[in-house]
């Protein structure tokens, strides 16, 4: 029962470097999400993909780009990392982008930008 798989689990970057966080789900879900978790702030939505072929900005999209590669995969890219992007990143999926849908989360990527 893999569910939602994220890679890598840990990453350290220098300011200005780029990287891509990978996410894949095996539940045939239509909707996928990227959140960031910061101490004392809960989770905030970065980008989401309601269905294959669509992506949209969430609450805190600046500095990020996403690609919905196919129904299974949704990647998050940092083009030029900044210390403010130090955070724990979670990918999630749901059957559909409806209010009240249960989200299934990956185990997270801890990113440090020096």
- Total residues at the site for other proteins (CB under 8 A)? 28
Those residues whose C-beta lies under 8 Å from the C-beta of residue 21, and which sit 6 or more positions away, are 6, 7, 8, 11, 34, 75, 76, 77, 78, 89, 91, 109, 111
97 binds other proteins per the rule CB under 8 A: yes
Cα 92 → chain centroid? 7
102 binds other proteins per the rule CB under 8 A: yes
10 binds other proteins per the rule CB under 8 A: no
- Residue list 15-74, contact with other proteins (CB under 8 A): 31, 40-45, 48, 50, 56-59
Separation CA 113–CA 108 (nearest Å) = 16
Residue 74 token pair: 């949704």
Q: Stretches 14-22, 68-76, 79-87, 90-98: which one binds other proteins (CB under 8 A)?
A: 90-98
Q: Which positions touch other proteins (CB under 8 A)?
A: 4, 31, 40-45, 48, 50, 56-59, 90, 92, 97-108
């Amino acid at each position: 029962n893999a569910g939602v798989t994220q890679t890598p689990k840990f990453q350290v970057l220098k300011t200005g470097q780029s990287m891509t966080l990978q996410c894949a789900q095996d539940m045939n879900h239509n909707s996928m999400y990227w959140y960031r978790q910061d101490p004392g702030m809960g989770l905030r939505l970065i980008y989401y993909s309601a269905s294959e072929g669509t992506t949209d900005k969430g609450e805190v999209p600046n500095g990020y780009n996403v690609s919905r590669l196919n129904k299974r995969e949704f990647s998050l890219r940092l083009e030029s990392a900044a210390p403010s992007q130090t955070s724990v990143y979670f990918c999630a999926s749901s059957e559909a982008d409806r209010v009240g849908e249960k989200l299934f989360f990956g185990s997270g990527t801890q990113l440090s930008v020096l």
